[in-house]
Amino acid sequence: MIFAFSSRLVKVLKDTTSTVPVVGYTADPISFGIVTSLARPGANVTGVATEAGAEIDGKRLSLWKEIAPSSSRVGVLAPAAFWNSPYGSAIRTLAGHLGFTVVGGPLADPVGEVQF
């Protein structure tokens, strides 16, 4: 058995072997192409997903709409890399379908060079 702590590493292992069990600690294994379903990962890969992808974000937004139906805005604090990714696009689309206006916009890159 191989235990791996990276989505990219788990994907490489999955593509390399179909006989050695791979247990991964990953982010969004569906979008990384590791599995086709969280409920039934299949093949030789299993593990824990720290993020289930845009699908779970839609569920979170839907839940918020149920809790506070008169809400019209949702704040999303995330770096530019998120806003320019498929996740950022999915959040904006999902929020729009639920009648939310997304506020917040991109934040400075948290890993970038520190300015003094």
What long-range pairs does 93-101 form, CB within 8 A, spacing at least 24? 94/54, 94/57, 94/58, 94/61, 95/61, 98/61, 98/62, 98/65, 99/65, 99/72, 100/61, 100/65, 100/71, 100/72, 100/73, 100/74, 101/72, 101/73, 101/74
- For residues 83 and 70, membership in a common domain is answered with yes
Claim to verify: residue 19 and residue 36 sit in the same structural domain: yes
Condensed to tens digits (0 to 9), the pLDDT of residues 23-71 reads 999 888 888 889 888 778 878 998 888 877 677 777 888 898 999 899 9
- Predicted pLDDT of residue 116: 45
Q: What pLDDT is stored for residue 111 in this prediction? A: 63
112 within some domain: no
Same domain, 59 and 24: no
Is 21 a domain residue? Answer: yes
Asked whether residue 39 falls in the same domain as residue 58, the answer is: no
- Amino acid letter for position 9: L
Q: Which helix (H) or strand (E) holds 23?
A: strand 22-27
Say if residue 61 is in the same domain as residue 103. yes
Same domain, 99 and 63: yes
Name the residue range of residue 42's domain: 2-51
- Whether residues 22 and 39 fall in one domain: yes
Residue 114 lies inside a defined structural domain of this protein: no
Q: Are strands 2-4 and 45-51 parallel, antiparallel or unpaired?
A: unpaired
